Structures are given as structure tokens and as C-alpha cells.
């Protein structure tokens, strides 16, 4: 298998250009992602040359370039993905089945935008999200498989290994501006989900990809001087000790954090990041890396990452050892142990055992009854009660007593009228109360089922499905997220309006219906 290389890297210089920055700061579009996804009417290099020439001509006239007119002349703006499929649909299940076609994208060889081209068809989430997203796709795949579209799920899995080989990680999404960050590592889960449907060549290809993904999460940088926010990992003046996504704990074990090597505003949120950074009165490069790391977490944004739950400018993501990330990396290590043999398998198996012990040492609290993120500079757990504590149950690394405590906390503090709330903190951020998200419902349901809490699991499924069905009855669409505290109210919070469509909601609802109708 091979990846058709296109010049997606050329768009990286476009994001650094004077044209891009001026357009974003001029706020020509309400959503900064719009221009980051703009499609050039010719290649982006030629567009930048044209802008340079336009600036020279304007300077002769003691004038400036009309940005709005220039953008209209040289770019086509991307459209929002429709949330309503063609034809009639009379149920949520019928709507979802028809939406698969709406959300399908086919390979595109043109390179006049920020897309990183893929060789196989794939499913996008919907709305402003016009590209494939990494961890979204696992939950989407559940619904695809249950609906008999296993071939599409396999396409997406192979696409991820393709892009891993091309970029060096599985990026947040297949956009050039995501190249420096990934998302929660679900490749091992995806492989396990489809293993019996893959041919031998595909299995070998994906296993090789699993090894490369593990290397991505565990590697250290060879240039510590460029990393503004890694000082906590430096021993004395030894810059070789600087680590990217790994942290050496006091006992010597290695756990992981989210990170992004780029200390700059996100191209897709350029103006917003600069405006927020202006309020912090501190090192802006650290702020940008914390923000980008939160995007890698998938929880952008949440009080999990904030020193002050109500102030985004206090974000400190790279200082946090997250429960969910490390639980998912146990699964990656265990999957590699099963997929390899001899000394190699023993290394992965040993790494998984060390990680599990470290998770139980630093991230579990008997006093607080659950798993909690760990702030390693202060060597203390954070106080945020979040649905991330379900992931150790989902991957099966908790003992029964730990599972009992997590179950109690989830039911007493996180389960609401419409499903499981993201955290117990009510804030302006979208990954906090009152919002509930499909992937977290899935983690909670599967985790509780695994440890014998079938009734609680069924309650979560019924409540979340009822929430989805209630909104569908009034709006005719499915949403990216839901207000699970007051299900009749539309969800809000975050940097953008709630999106419609929607990939992972479609997948998780379909999987829950499969369980409930057995």
C-alpha cells in the first residue's frame, strides 16, 4: 500500500503568510476555520505571488490591498455540510442511514487547499468539520459496522495508517494545520474492532502503524531548545532529557501528556487565540502550546485543563497527566504485545504493566472514589470529576473495587436526566457541564457493562437515546453534543455553535440501539 503524496506541506507556508494573518485578523469570516479551509482557484503558491504583486501595486498608489476583494477573486469558500439528507426519513435510524452518504468524502487529488489528501473514501463529522477526524472515527465506525458498512470502516482505518506514514502521526484531522498534533490514540481500538475483517496484508500494515503510533507518543525530541513548555522534564542542564508527550514520574515510570510542538496561534482559530493570549500577561508561546495540546486531547476546551475553571487564559494542558490518554495507551501496548512475539512482545507487555501500576499510583483516589488527572508540577491530582474516569473501565484495567467506586461517582455526580455529563463543573467551556458527548456515553456504557453494572449501563443508554430522539423530533437533525442536564435545551458553550450531522452521535446511537434491542 502507498500514500499518494501531494503538496499539503505547501499550505504550511500559506498559514505563515502575511495574507493569511491579515485576513484572519480582519475577521472577514465569523469562523476563522472558514479561511483556513478556503480553496484556492489556483495553487496556493501562485495566490501568494499574486498577493505580493498586488501589495507592490497598492504601495505605488499609497494604498493597501482590498482584502475582501482579493479573497473573493482568488478563493472559493468551503460550504457547511448539510445536516439534512435528501428524501423522506421518519425515524432517527432512517435519518442516520441516509446521512452516511451525506457525510462520505471521496479521494481528491487537487491540492489547492489545506487538505491532506487520502486515497480511500471516508466519513466526516458534519457542519464545519469537513475533514476526517481521528478519534471521532472510532465511534462513527461502530455505527457503520452495525449498519452493514464495514467496508467504509476499513477504508478509514487504512487511511489513518496511510496518513501516519505520511505525516509522522495521525493528525487531529486531515488538514495541514493539524500536522503537529494528534488526538486520543484509538488506532488499537479501531484495529481490534476490525481485525477479523482484515486480510493478512492489511493486518500487517496496521500493526506496523500501531508500532509507529507508539513511537510517536513515546519519543523524545532531539532539540529541547525549541520547546518552550517542557522545562518540568529537564534535569539540570541536560537538554537531552526534554520530552515531548512523555513525563517521568517520581517513581521512574513513564506516563503521557498531550502536547503540540508549535508555540503559535492555531491557524483555524488564529484571531481567537491572539485575542485570548492578549489577556494573559504571561508567556504567550506557553499559552498557545497549552491550547493546542487541549485540541490534541479532543476536549477543547474543558476545566480539566484550567487552573481556574472559568478562565481559559489559565489553561495548563501540558502540565496535566490525563486519565483517558494513559488508559488508551495501555490498550495500545497490550494490542502490540498480542500482535508481536518473543522479546518484542515482552517489552510491550512489561510497558503495559508498568503503566497500569503508575495509573493506579498517581491517577486513582480511593478517598475521592475515582480516577483523576494529575498535575505533575505540583505532584497532585486535580479536583475535576470527569467522565474520563470511565476509560480505565472501558479498557479493563481497573480492579472490581476501583470499578465499584467509579460507578458510584458516575451515577451520583455525573449521570443526569439526559445522560452522562462531561464534568461536574458548570463553565462556559463546551467539554463541561451541562454538556454530554457521544464518545463519553460510549466509554461509560461499555466500561460499566464490563464490570457487571448492566442496569446502570442500560439507564445511560436509554437516557442519552431519549435526549437524541427528543431533539430529533423537534429539529429533524442529530447534534454534535447535547445538554444532558436539561435535555430540552440546546447545548452551547465553546468557540463555535453546536454542529449538526453528526458522525460520532450517529455511530453511538446506532450501537446503543443494537444493545437495547437485543
Tens-digit pLDDT profile for residues 410-448? 999 999 999 999 999 999 999 999 999 999 999 999 999
Instruction: Name, in order, each residue with C-beta under 8 angstroms of 76's C-beta and a sequence gap of 6 or more.
Output: 38, 39, 40, 41
> Is residue 408 predicted with pLDDT exceeding 60?
yes
- Predicted pLDDT at 11: 87
Rounded CA gap, 99 and 147, in Å?
Answer: 12
- Predicted pLDDT at 9: 84
> Is residue 281 predicted with pLDDT exceeding 90?
no
How far is residue 4 CA from its own chain's centroid?
Answer: 24
Across the chain, mean pLDDT equals 93
Q: How confident is the model at residue 220 (pLDDT cuts 50, 70, 90)?
A: confident
Catalytic residue (choose from 37, 113, 268, 300): 300
% of the chain residues with pLDDT over 90: 88
| Chain length of the chain | 518
- Predicted pLDDT at 242: 54
300 classed as catalytic: yes
- Predicted pLDDT at 379: 97
Beta-carbon count within 10 A of 471 CB:
22
> Is residue 362 predicted with pLDDT exceeding 90?
yes
Q: How confident is the model at residue 231 (pLDDT cuts 50, 70, 90)?
A: very low
Q: How confident is the model at residue 282 (pLDDT cuts 50, 70, 90)?
A: low
Rounded average pLDDT over 493-500:
90
Catalytic residue (choose from 131, 162, 324, 480): 480
Q: How far is CA 396 from CA 211, 250, 393, 462, 489, in A?
A: 21, 25, 5, 23, 35
> Is residue 174 predicted with pLDDT exceeding 50?
yes
Residue 367 has phi, psi (to 5 degrees) of -65, -40
**DSSP result, 318-346:** GGEE-HHHHHHHHHHHHHHHHHS-HHHHH
Rounded CA gap, 255 and 218, in Å?
Answer: 9
Instruction: Name, in order, each residue with C-beta under 8 angstroms of 450's C-beta and a sequence gap of 6 or more.
Output: 393, 394, 396
Q: How far is CA 35 from CA 72, 102, 180, 328, 502, in A?
A: 11, 23, 19, 34, 22
- Predicted pLDDT at 223: 45
Please, what is the angle between helix 342-362 and helix 323-339, to 10°? 160
Q: How confident is the model at residue 110 (pLDDT cuts 50, 70, 90)?
A: low
Q: How confident is the model at residue 389 (pLDDT cuts 50, 70, 90)?
A: very high
pLDDT per residue as tens digits for the range 29-84 = 999 999 999 999 999 999 999 999 999 999 999 999 999 999 999 999 999 999 99
8 A C-beta contact, residue 164 and residue 209: yes
pLDDT per residue as tens digits for the range 238-259 = 433 457 999 999 999 999 999 9
- Predicted pLDDT at 229: 37
Q: How confident is the model at residue 114 (pLDDT cuts 50, 70, 90)?
A: very high
Taking the model in full, what pTM does it have? 0.94
- Predicted pLDDT at 161: 98
Higher-confidence position of 289 and 107: 289
- Predicted pLDDT at 238: 40
8 A C-beta contact, residue 258 and residue 296: yes
- Predicted pLDDT at 246: 97
% of the chain residues with pLDDT over 70: 94
43 classed as catalytic: no
Amino acid at each position: 500500500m502507498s500514500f499518494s503524496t501531494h503538496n499539503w506541506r505547501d499550505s504550511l507556508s500559506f498559514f505563515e503568510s502575511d495574507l493569511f494573518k491579515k485576513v484572519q485578523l480582519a475577521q472577514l469570516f465569523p469562523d476563522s476555520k472558514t479561511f483556513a479551509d478556503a480553496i484556492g482557484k489556483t495553487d496556493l503558491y501562485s495566490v501568494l505571488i499574486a498577493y505580493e504583486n498586488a501589495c507592490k501595486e497598492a504601495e505605488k498608489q499609497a494604498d493597501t490591498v482590498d482584502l475582501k476583494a482579493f479573497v473573493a477573486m482568488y478563493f472559493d469558500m468551503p460550504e457547511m455540510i448539510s445536516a439534512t439528507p435528501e428524501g423522506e426519513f421518519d425515524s432517527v435510524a432512517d435519518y442516520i442511514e441516509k446521512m452516511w452518504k451525506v457525510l462520505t468524502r471521496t479521494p481528491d487529488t487537487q491540492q489547492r487547499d489545506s487538505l491532506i489528501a487520502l486515497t480511500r473514501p471516508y466519513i466526516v463529522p458534519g457542519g464545519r468539520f469537513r475533514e476526517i477526524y481521528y478519534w471521532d472515527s472510532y465511534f462513527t465506525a461502530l455505527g457503520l459496522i452495525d449498519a452493514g458498512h464495514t467496508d467504509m470502516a476499513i477504508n478509514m482505518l487504512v487511511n489513518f495508517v496511510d496518513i501516519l506514514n505520511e505525516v509522522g502521526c495521525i493528525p487531529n484531522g486531515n488538514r495541514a494545520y493539524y500536522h503537529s498534533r494528534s488526538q486520543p490514540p484509538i488506532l488499537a481500538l479501531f484495529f481490534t474492532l476490525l481485525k477479523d475483517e482484515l486480510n493478512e496484508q492489511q493486518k500487517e500494515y496496521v500493526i506496523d502503524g500501531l508500532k509507529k503510533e507508539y513511537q510517536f507518543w513515546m519519543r523524545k525530541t532531539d532539540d529541547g531548545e525549541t520547546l518552550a513548555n517542557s522545562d518540568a522534564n529537564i534535569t539540570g542542564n541536560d537538554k537531552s532529557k526534554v520530552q515531548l508527550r512523555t513525563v517521568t514520574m517520581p517513581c521512574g515510570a513513564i506516563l503521557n501528556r498531550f502536547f503540540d510542538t508549535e508555540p503559535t496561534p492555531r491557524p483555524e482559530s488564529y484571531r481567537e487565540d491572539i485575542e485570548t493570549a492578549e489577556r494573559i500577561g504571561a508567556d504567550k508561546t506557553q499559552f498557545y502550546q497549552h491550547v493546542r495540546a487541549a485540541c490534541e486531547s479532543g476536549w477543547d476546551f474543558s476545566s480539566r485543563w484550567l487552573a481556574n475553571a472559568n478562565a481559559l487564559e489559565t489553561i495548563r494542558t501540558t502540565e496535566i497527566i490525563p486519565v483517558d490518554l494513559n488508559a488508551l495507551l495501555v490498550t495500545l501496548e497490550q494490542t502490540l504485545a498480542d500482535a508481536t512475539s518473543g522479546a518484542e512482545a515482552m517489552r510491550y507487555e512489561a510497558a503495559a504493566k508498568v503503566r497500569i501500576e503508575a495509573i493506579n499510583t498517581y491517577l486513582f483516589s480511593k478517598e475521592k472514589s475515582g480516577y483523576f488527572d494529575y498535575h505533575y508540577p505540583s505532584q497532585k491530582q486535580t479536583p475535576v470529576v470527569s467522565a474520563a474516569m470511565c476509560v480505565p473501565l472501558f479498557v479493563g484495567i481497573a480492579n472490581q473495587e476501583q470499578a465499584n467506586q467509579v460507578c458510584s461517582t458516575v451515577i451520583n455526580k455525573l449521570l443526569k436526566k439526559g445522560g452522562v455529563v462531561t464534568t461536574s463543573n458548570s463553565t462556559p467551556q463546551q467539554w463541561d457541564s451541562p454538556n454530554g458527548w457521544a464518545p463519553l456515553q460510549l466509554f461509560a456504557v461499555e466500561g460499566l457493562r464490563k464490570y457487571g453494572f448492566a442496569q446502570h449501563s442500560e439507564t445511560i443508554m436509554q437516557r442519552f437515546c431519549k435526549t437524541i430522539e427528543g431533539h430529533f423530533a423537534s429539529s429533524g437533525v442529530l447534534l454534535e453534543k447535547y445538554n444532558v442536564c436539561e435535555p430540552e435545551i440546546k447545548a452551547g458553550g465553546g468557540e463555535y455553535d453546536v454542529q449538526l450531522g453528526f458522525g460520532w452521535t450517529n455511530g453511538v446511537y446506532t450501537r446503543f440501539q443494537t444493545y437495547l434491542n437485543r
